[in-house]
Structure 1
Amino acid sequence: MPSHTLGVALPIMSFVQYPADHPFPIQNLPYGVFSTDAQPVTRPGVAIGDYILDLAALSKTAHWAKSPVKAEVFQTANLDAFVALEPEDWAAFRAFLTSILAPSSPLKADADAVLLPRTAKSTHMHLPIRIGDYTDFYASYAHAFNAGVLIRGPENALQPNWKHLPVGYHGRASSIVVSGTPFHRPTGQILDKPTDKQPIFAPCRKLDYELETAFIYGGSPTKLGQRLTPAQARKHIFGLVLMNDWSARDIQTWEYVPLGPFLSKNFCTTIAPWIVSPAALEPFKVKQYDHEPALLPYLDDPEGYNFAVPLHLEVKTAESGDYSHVSTSDMRHTYYTFAQMIAHHSATGCNIRPSDMMGSGTLSVPSNDNAPNDGGLGSLLERSRLGREPFALNDQRKDMTWLRDGDSVRITGVAKGDGYNIGFGECEGTVLPAVEA
């Protein structure tokens, strides 16, 4: 197996070698689903350095004897069976992986049979789970405020309910795709001119990205009528992924009154292929936002926290062929914790099932001077002021407002720890022309 230079001695080591700044060290061990040209069957794997540990293949070897999880859990096309286990099972299996990848592990002698090149063109990533239900929240104060100012003015930027509950909408699970999947520009009802009263049916003219994080619910499903506290909900967070909830702003403007987004959000949502566990993010916990006014007791989360993970968004145009940096935000910028979002979701007794996915909403950086922070905005709606203020993306496009056909958007996230990094991979998608009738 090829080897790489290990930059520094890490507190936890592996016989798989990689640079010290690699996003997938043994401290990470994110889960995904992959296939290869040689073996086109999709199966679960774990990223370690530039390799994927094939869990299906490993489960058929003698090395599996010490695994706390049954082999058949990973002899499937996705991670659903593993996600449906309990948090203590996830923790035990993570410990097993750390041990089996340790420098002294006997697996080292058989590594070529179960470790496959992750970056090879013959390796393909797939959706890691079969997403049952999908809910997207609107939990970044900066984004909600910025958008509200543009639509309603600073005095009425936030709706009266926003600081009392995590606002969200039910999305469409069927159109969630894995990173690298292109999608067609949506077509729908829009107003040709802002003053028009009669809509037209046309391709979206104001296509936007949304820089987000999503989290996967796991463990035992809740029963219809059952509610979760934030403390209970936190235990059910199997892992986190990067997400881009593509948005058709002109379709959204016309349709969202009175029931919120529908066709403007259901045409495509992109997620990264790797699910990072909360255990890997423990060193990056930060204090949650202060809540003023105080939240109602069912949302109270005194032990709540957010994760500090810088998130970078880039756009590549057909003219340039190279990515241009647009925004740097952070996973920490959610007014509500992920546990509070789940708790609120269950407040009515809505049952939640393993492999359900929930999004954070667009993450933007707060401003200290009441002016939008252009370098930390998570959407073009904010960056271009609803398309009213074009900006220079690169030398070839100096009038950027909304996404054009052929544009690609890439989101990455890497938390820098003490001698190691925790990466989330890439969340990338490309806009194709609208499908002609």
Structure 2
Amino acid sequence: MTLQTSLEQPAPVRQIANAIAGWIDRLGAVWVEGQVAQVNRRPGVGTVFLTLRDTVADISIPVTCSRVLFDGLNPPLVEGASVVVHAKPSYYANRGTLSLQARDIRMVGLGELLARLERRRQLLAAEGLFATALKRRLPFLPGTVGLVTAPGSAAERDVLENARRRWPAVTFAVAYAAMQGPRSAAEVIEALERLDRDPSVDVIVIARGGGSVEDLLPFSDEALVRAVHAARTPVVSAIGHEPDSPLLDLVADVRASTPTDAAKLVVPDVAEELRVVDTARQRLRGGLHGWLQREQAALDGLRSRPALADPRSLLDARLTEVDALRERARRTLEHRLDRAADDIDHHRARARALSPLATLQRGYAVVQDAEGHVVSSVAGVAPGATVSIRVADGRVAATVTATETATEEGEADGRQ
């Protein structure tokens, strides 16, 4: 039934509260899953008051149950237990509060609990929260190590002492949180986010000692897993011992089997690093010494070569070659000059042999008439003509007294 209200006719608070109570009362019983965050048993009261918290969101709702139902649970119900409650919603109009009236409470058994954790793991893995590609490498030497753990716990002592034993100068920023119970996941998330906002923190370690599956349930909380996934700082999970594997181990960047192992992962061992540096120094020294020896041997080899041992030896050899070439050139030039002189003599002799003067020297003469023409026939002159006779050493002026014609037999006919 809908209430008819208006500005002129408003409904009183009691009417609205009773209407809400009536609407909720018409709701049937429901099965609700959650974690018991608080148990309040008041002396002399037959009702036990519980607070049921959602396993993911920060939402809780009051639950009431009879003392008979509460005392009949086996094992006894304690804070932090995971339960499934069959309850009917109820609205208390006098205080305006909503609660659940429990009719049945069933503890979540270990097998069922592990099955639910496995389903949760599969769902988160399908979202990619556990992907290997998202894992970040830890810094070699962090400036400040963030630590989330319980105050005064053995895990805190193990991480601090072992880390400082390995690297005495390491600095820690410790954020305390409950590591067990219904508020554990929320406090760990708050501590993680506080350290993640600190720019000086280079790596965050979440450490807790061993425990039962129920004790380690907060570290499989979906909200915590998502908070670690969203953190900008690398996270190391050091929960429990080697066999323990909460979902936090899967989403963390590095999983440590124990808190002691986490201390070994986040800081290097100063003694081991000094040994590595010393070994590297020795290797460098040995390599440099070997290189110097090889270079010295190469230099000695170069210096032992004749060209460097006695630079003049090359000049002496080249000087000998130059002298030999000079002597050879001199002989060749002399031979060529001698042959050229002989050729000139031969040409001179041939030219002299062809010269008319040479013919004259052998007793021949050239006869020219008065006009200077050479007389080659007796017909060219007449008796009484004046002629010039050219001999080897001069000229003879003569007058033709007679001419004589040579016959075919070589005899001359006398003519006047």
Question: TM (normalized to structure 2)?
Answer: 0.22
**Highest relative contact order (Cα 8 Å, sep 6+), 1 or 2?**
1
Point out the structure with the larger helix share.
Answer: 2
Question: TM (normalized to structure 1)?
Answer: 0.21
